[in-house]
Structure 1
Amino acid sequence: MDLSNLLVPEAVKVIGHLSSKKRLMQELSDIVCDAYGVCPVNAVDALQEREALGPTGVGHGVALPHARLRDIDRVVGVFVRLDKPLPFDSVDRQPVDLVFGLFAPEDSGVAHLKALALVSRTLRDPNICAKLRANGDPSTLYTVLTESESTRAA
């Protein structure tokens, strides 16, 4: 599995400013709706339920919100780069500016965990994060994300 299996170019966005974590979750839900046809109400509810269990801000400006949904048949992702970092209750208490949201079927089990591990591994790479932060074009961000796996494998 690589990120190109999880992410389509239409699901990569750059957002200037968001006022809250809740607003970010709504944006992620709107993007997953537009890119994959997922019900945005179900998506935002599932993201908020998961976030209530514990923050998904993993540190170093990165957040990996994720949720399981009924109305989806495979694991899909959305990526957002924020121009202005947003407080997120991250483990290191730093605001986030790189957000990769994952949405998986309710019964996805191992596939969801593998996808989460892949995204986490990718966004722990400081070189990839630097490239993501240095670019404001969604198509470039998509390329950085999807080519990162093949570059590391070589």
Structure 2
Amino acid sequence: MELSGLLGSDAVKVIHAASSKKRLFQDLGDIAQDCYGLKCSQAVEALMERESLGPTGVGHGVALPHARLGVCDQVRGVFLRLERPVDFGSVDRQPVDLIFALFAPEDSGVEHLKALALVSRTLRDKAVCAKLRSNTDPAALHAILTEGPATQAA
């Protein structure tokens, strides 16, 4: 599994200002609808439901919201880089500026977990995060995320 198979080049965006986590979920749902044909309202509802179980802010300015959807045919990703970080209820209480959301079929099982582990491993790399934070071009952000040794799943 590679990030290039999860993340379409058009599913990478830079958001200049977001007022809340809920607003970010709406942005993620809009992008998932535009890029992958997922229904925005279902995507947002699934993200909110998962978030109610516990925050998906993993620390160091990174959040990994994820959800399972019956209408999703394969694991798909959406990446947002925020110019102004927002509170995400992260474990380290730091605001979030890098968000990689995953949408998976309800019955994806291990594929969903592998994708989540791959994204987590990639965004734990301080050099990758530094490059992401120093770029505002979506094509460059996509290239940073999809190229390199961290993209290989175990």
How would you bin the TM-score normalised by the shorter chain? over 0.9
In structure 2, the CA distance between the partners of 1:3 and 1:26, relative to structure 1 (3 Å rule), is same
| Identical-residue share of aligned pairs (%) | 67
1:47 aligns to what?
47
After TM superposition, the structure 1 stretch with the greater mean CA deviation from structure 2, 29-38 or 143-152, is: 143-152
Following superposition, the deviation at residue 140 of structure 1 comes to 0.2
2:83 aligns to what?
83
2:38 aligns to what?
38
**Superposition CA RMSD, Å:** 1.3
Following superposition, the deviation at residue 30 of structure 1 comes to 0.4
- 1:54 is paired with a residue whose SS is coil
2:100 aligns to what?
100
Cα distance between partner residues in 1 of 2:151 and 2:110: 25
1:133-144 → structure 2 map (5 Å cutoff):
133-144=133-144
In structure 2, the CA distance between the partners of 1:7 and 1:56, relative to structure 1 (3 Å rule), is same
Superposition TM-score, scaled by structure 1 size: 0.97
Structure with bigger helix share is 1
Cα distance between partner residues in 2 of 1:150 and 1:25: 26
Deviations 1:45-92 (A, max 9, x none): 000000000000000000000000011110000000000000000000
Letter in 2 for 1:51: E
Runs of 4 or more, structure 1, over 6 Å off, are 150-153
Unaligned runs of 5+ residues in structure 1 are none
Report the count of equivalent residues.
Answer: 153
Unaligned runs of 5+ residues in structure 2 are none
Superposition TM-score, scaled by structure 2 size: 0.97
